[in-house]
Chains A and B, each alone.
Chain A
Amino acid sequence: MSHKVVIPIGPYHPLQDEPEFFQLFVEGEKVVDIDIVIGYNHRGIEKLCETKHFDQVAFVVERICGICSTSHPLAYVNAVEDLAKIKVPRRALYIRTIIAELERLHSHLLWLGLAGHFIGYNTIWMWAWRYREPILDCFEMISGNRNHYAMMKVGGVRRDIEDKHIPTLKKMLDEVLGAIDMFKGAVMDDPVIHARLKGIGILTRKQAIEWSVIGPTARASGINIDVRRDDPYAAYDRVDWNVIVRNEGDIFAKTVVRILEMHESVQIIRQCLTKMPKGEIDADVKDIPPGEGIGRAEAPRGEVLHYVRSDGTNRPIRHKIRAPSYMNVASNKVACVGGTISDATITLAAVDPCYCCTERVAVIDQPTSKKILNGWDLIKLSQEKTEQLRKLIS
């Protein structure tokens, strides 16, 4: 196959997380191959972490991603606590859980909005993002920041959730729960969405195992994994909740998994607010001994893995970071190929990378190797297909 180099037209957003470039090779309507190029925003964070002391690293890794900005510090502190066998006060464990679940809520709402936009449901987009706002406001109330909360530290958390914050949190949760139910209805009861999302972008269970995908992408393909339950950290083993699994592997399943997960998140936070004991929020951490530790956290997109090795100094000598999209994005190679161009946008977006990913798509007509469409054209195509289905059904 002669793949010619193509310069993408779509805008580059180097400030956003996870910029990727997908080249779709098509024959007529059908996607026959896909080339995934990453690395546009490689910042050398693993190397940078070797120059920071253990306390500073938490701040560095927080900047890996702007959306799941607490998952990385959480996995990192889990790793160091595993290495140094540090016991974290119980109150801190509950606070970690609350922050991590609030993050899942706002991240899934963000995705839901974008997915709605891609298939031409701009109302879902506006509503989802409207309900994301009060969650970010709660972050600001607790930590002072809407996005980088800087809550995690080795041995505990940096800030307490004060009693005066709890009524606001509870009120926000009620409001968001109502919204989640609304979205659940909007997705489950809409024949157009069923027609649009079912049976496309399928990742079978076998493929999901082969590509070692994680998070909602795996759970929508019938793989029952969730680090929160399998290898509990924070306070996840002290609250009741369910892992949401669907077997279909298509985009609809991925959407349903995320929407139902938000339900569980609300339940987890509510229980934490009730059960959270009074007391210290951080342990007194002395030197970090030589050794190695692995920390994991279930980010909204799947398992985040941090491996930290120490030689007894105050800096890690090696810090390996594996974000979930690293495994999930690669699986687009099977989920996308064989589908049509109008389904490509939502298929690529279904693993929940970030929106600039799809924005920089180039479509190449295979026989002539000519670039014919850019990212915005693709979104338009995708929206048009929904519109046709809508007319057909109504």
Chain B
Amino acid sequence: MSITQQIKQKLANKIRDWHEHNPQRIYFSVNKKNIREVAKVLFKDLGLRFATATGVDTPKGLEIVYHFSFDNSGQMISVRTLIEDRQNPQIDSLAVISVAFEWIEREMWEMLGIKFVGHPNLKRLLLADDWPECKYPLRQNK
């Protein structure tokens, strides 16, 4: 069974907007409250490698795209989730699943102001110590 079939089977009730840009690049959305469960299935059960995550400030809210790589077939599986609350954006931390998520969550926290609930060490990664609080460089609002 191909990896896409396995994902569809294991996460059947959680996947929304399945989109194959081409056979190697697959995107789907999940509700943000399911993100930890979904990431756990992909990373632990199906053995996908976590590549990175992209935080994007969109008109609808703050979007996170988690990029997983399935190296046996070279497919990139990207999981999208949207945080609508711009004032107090929060999402479950995936760092409890694996340390691989730790740095990128710290980066998204400082760059976009997304709070990762349950992160063991949510402190600045890239920004200088004297960077002002609550100024998020990758936010689009002035």
Contacts and interface: CB of A to CB of B under 8 A. Distances in A.
Contact of B67 (A230, A231, A307): A307
B98 A210 contact: yes
Chain A contact residues, majority secondary structure: mixed
Chain B contact residues, majority secondary structure: mixed
A234 B51 CA distance: 21
Contacts of B72: 230
Contact of B98 (A46, A212, A309, A333): A212
Interface in B75-105: 75-76, 78, 98-100, 102-104
B126 interface: yes
Interface stretch (A37-45, A116-124, A184-192, A194-202): A37-45
Contact of B103 (A225, A291, A326): A326
A320 B125 contact: no
A333 B102 CA distance: 13
Contact of B99 (A39, A305, A330): A330
B74 A39 contact: no
Interface residues of B, number: 35
Interface stretch (B1-9, B20-28, B30-38): B20-28
A232 B127 CA distance: 35
Interface residues of A, number: 35
A42 B106 CA distance: 14
B17 interface: no
Interface in B100-132: 100, 102-104, 124-128
B138 A46 contact: yes
Contacts of A348: none
B52 interface: yes
Given A38-B125, A39-B124, A46-B138, A225 B100 contact: no
6 contacts: A38-B125, A82-B21, A211-B98, A225-B71, A305-B67, A318-B56
Interface of A: 38-39, 42, 44, 46-47, 82, 85, 209-212, 214, 225, 227, 230-232, 291-294, 296, 303, 305, 307, 309, 317-318, 320, 322, 326-327, 330, 333
